[in-house]
Structure 1
């Protein structure tokens, strides 16, 4: 049975094709260079040959002894030795001096002296010169033929030449001399091209050229179809990709591809852990940033890492609102239970006829009433204050709205004010703790919005007054562990609105946060 050849895998065939293409390119370039060198050298050798025979013809033709002996009976005896000496010294193959009778007066072969020349000298006797290749008694030669003049009159001609075979031999020696360099360059170029191909394959993690279009299509489909921001950072620490959603979430106004990741991302996201996810504040957006390290190839080479950005701003706002509603519901549930117990006590007093005791009990439990947010006309503001009052009551914190609070007619609380107030009250209630006090002042009048939240908690040391607004630092304790992002968000909102926020000591014994900013036109409407 005839064995069948097993076809090479497509990946291997493609590798061989690429390697073969690179080798062919290198060899073609080297061959082209070699041909160009040979053409240049051939022209140079011929030019040198023509220059040499032209120089010899000029010197011999102007030699006084040659001029004096021409057209005399002893011309051959005088001129032949001079021409022989010139031929031997210059290295040309022949020097032939011809009289006006077209008879040779010198020749390398003595038997040719006294015989007519084998080539046409008529043009030289008319005063012209000739440079080129002609065949004579010695064979094809590169020759120069010129007239010999005396007192302006042409008295003879001279022909000097070099055998074409000798010129070719000189060119061949030059070719043989640089042939090893050409072969060496071809071999070295082949090795370097193969090494470069191998290095490029490592850099692109073994991806084949026919796989590139599919990868690009998949990348574009993934990057621009998802609603999350995606950032890629290569092994060298430079950003390799950034989709449009990532630019929007990070507030980037120009492309960052190619820039160093630490310079771009650290000011926005802080130092990221090796892997995992964490919540950060970018501008006024609450983002969840997930990092996943990337590896490639069977060797699992480091391919950098990918950051996925998810916007949780709306979710965080909903969670804060839900927490407030849940706190209000818990407070109402506790109040319902407490009211039920009080009704049972009153029922007991009345059932035994202790009317005086019942009246005293009613007076005692009614007591002085807390001032609550329901006294302020804005519904959004009243809702935030009511929810936090319920949370404070649940935590055993006395909650009071300052009697000097004011919401002027036509004014109202916008989303920024409610966010700032909610975060400050949440921090104050937690800082005050069981048995503590929280007091809030709100003033919306004219073109100014003012907030002041005070608590009876431990306060904020002066050296921490600026640091508590840093992302990941809390005013509730002085540890360095990461906490919420409420105060950082508060500061950024107030700065955007062109306002200020100050931290100081409260008359209640804890911290006081005082914020003010210009009210927006039509705020609350």
Structure 2
């Protein structure tokens, strides 16, 4: 039968503590027993020495007056707790025995009298007349010669009774302490069990292995830190993306700020304020989409879980989806426009108005060519040209005019932003302007666009005369999920714009247009890399 962890831990503690207490009890009993014999030996020796120095006793021994000796020592024997007091003559024969008067005249037993008659004091454990005893023998001296022996002793049975009392006291004390320790052990095991959520060690081991396998199987980078910002857990994906070759045991316990730079995402005040989801951040020069969630246990902060993935993965997927949607919209717009134009041409030709049909064709071709020539000569990047032509066609299809300022000029792409990020910035600003204009009362006013580059910065300015931005939204306009739109999946476009621009040290200004609408002004530092002349000519 398998025992529960709590039961096994309690039994181990109980057995261990019992063994310690038994050992302690034996040692204590041995020490007290030795002390009892030593104290008893000292006491018997002092008492025997005192009696041997009595002048009356010396006189009575010389006179062999046993009656006088009895009268002298009986009060002492009655007041003493010694088992016996014996007085012998110079021939080691009894002159007095406190327990048995019949022994008077008989030899002293124990085979230890010879040294005493030589003048030595001894303490021995011997078998005497009354049995095994601890006794001290002192010679009685008179004028430098031994005239007798005084023996004071305690029977072994008396000492055993005293030792038994010690055993009882020690046992009761140890038993009480052991019971208290058992109670403490049981409470302690319950506390330990509670701390591990009432799981068995094997279950904990399985959970740890499952957690490790799950962490390694995750495509996202995951880092767990404690409430002091020290790394507790990091998976393989996080190490690969952050370029951390160290082993996990070397990273464990290190401050997160010593491993990841910059540390804005991990500032204590920022982390304590709120959790965050899908925040664009930079970890070791890698742009990531990061999440940060607090770990709480019994309403106390234990740390945070940070998960992240390379923003390029999301950007690539977003770009692919955007390109597909853009192609679909462009094809639909082109199809719709050409159907209208073909219908017009068919009607004119059916009515025999050939000259009017030719004029219509020339007007359409001339307008389209003018826009194409302007964009291709003012913007050197094929990506920018394609984006602007697509947005122009979309706006025309919705009945909105895009007016390009005559001062538009862009011959180089910003080095600090990738091509996809720069296109995302322009595209999102234009989409917001188109949406705002569509929601305004008819007729829709034109949208003005200025994209200009100088030695210090790139200016992107889009002015619409749409519905404008409510004052209540201006303070939170660039936070994720904030939008004035009522339909569709919105709320991320302006957040992405803000993230990209602020990351490179740029500035965003949002002002009200006159008489209505909004003007978005974006200033991007002009740290750029020029396109090749061949690519410019290709456009």
TM-score (norm. length: structure 2)? 0.69
Equivalence map 1:333-412=2 (5 Å): 333-346=332-345, 348-349=347-348, 352=351, 354=353, 357-358=356-357, 361=360, 373-374=375-376, 375-408=378-411
Equivalence map 1:179-328=2 (5 Å): 179=171, 209=201, 214-228=206-220, 243-245=235-237, 267=271, 280-283=278-281, 285-286=288-289, 311=309, 313=311, 314-328=313-327
> Does 2:459 correspond to 1:431?
no
Q: In the superposition, relative to structure 1, how do residues 209 and 353 fare at CA in structure 2: closer, same or farther (>3 Å)?
A: closer
Alignment match, 1:516:
523
CA contact (8 A) 2:52 2:140 kept: no
Alignment match, 1:500:
507
Equivalence map 1:40-189=2 (5 Å): 40-62=28-50, 66-67=54-55, 69-70=57-58, 72-73=62-63, 80=70, 83-97=73-87, 101-104=91-94, 106-109=96-99, 110-119=101-110, 120-123=112-115, 130-131=122-123, 133-145=125-137, 158-177=150-169, 179=171
Structure 2: runs of 5+ lacking an equivalent? 226-230, 257-266, 282-286, 295-303, 533-539
Measure, in 1, the Cα distance between the counterparts of 2:500 and 2:239.
21
Measure, in 2, the Cα distance between the counterparts of 1:140 and 1:203.
61
CA displacement 1:121-155 (0-9 Å, x = unmatched):
45556676555533222222234455677999987
CA displacement 1:174-208 (0-9 Å, x = unmatched):
43455466566667766776776677667657755
Aligned-pair distance for 1:66?
1.6
Aligned-pair distance for 1:29?
2.7
Alignment match, 1:414:
418
SS in 2 for 1:495: helix
Aligned-pair distance for 1:467?
1.5
Aligned-pair distance for 1:317?
4.0
SS in 2 for 1:166: helix
Q: In the superposition, relative to structure 1, how do residues 269 and 336 fare at CA in structure 2: closer, same or farther (>3 Å)?
A: farther
Q: In the superposition, relative to structure 1, how do residues 39 and 328 fare at CA in structure 2: closer, same or farther (>3 Å)?
A: closer
Alignment match, 2:463:
454
CA contact (8 A) 1:69 1:75 kept: no
SS in 2 for 1:467: coil
TM-score (norm. length: structure 1)? 0.70
Q: In the superposition, relative to structure 1, how do residues 380 and 54 fare at CA in structure 2: closer, same or farther (>3 Å)?
A: same
Measure, in 1, the Cα distance between the counterparts of 2:38 and 2:431.
103
CA contact (8 A) 1:472 1:482 kept: no
CA contact (8 A) 1:438 1:453 kept: yes
CA displacement 1:370-398 (0-9 Å, x = unmatched):
58744300223333333433443444443
SS in 1 for 2:2: helix
CA contact (8 A) 1:502 1:515 kept: yes
CA displacement 1:458-492 (0-9 Å, x = unmatched):
33345543312223323x3599x995333333333
Alignment match, 2:481:
472
Aligned residues: 483
Measure, in 1, the Cα distance between the counterparts of 2:490 and 2:78.
103
Q: In the superposition, relative to structure 1, how do residues 18 and 341 fare at CA in structure 2: closer, same or farther (>3 Å)?
A: closer
SS in 2 for 1:406: coil
Structure 1: runs of 5+ lacking an equivalent? 1-12, 234-238, 273-278, 292-305
Q: In the superposition, relative to structure 1, how do residues 486 and 127 fare at CA in structure 2: closer, same or farther (>3 Å)?
A: farther
CA contact (8 A) 1:132 1:144 kept: yes
Measure, in 1, the Cα distance between the counterparts of 2:29 and 2:64.
44
SS in 2 for 1:54: helix
SS in 1 for 2:157: helix
Measure, in 1, the Cα distance between the counterparts of 2:387 and 2:144.
123
CA contact (8 A) 1:46 1:167 kept: no
CA contact (8 A) 2:52 2:150 kept: no
CA contact (8 A) 1:232 1:241 kept: yes
CA displacement 1:67-107 (0-9 Å, x = unmatched):
55335326755655565544443422123455655445543
User: What is the root-mean-square deviation in Å for CA atoms of aligned residues?
Assistant: 5.1
Aligned-pair distance for 1:224?
1.2
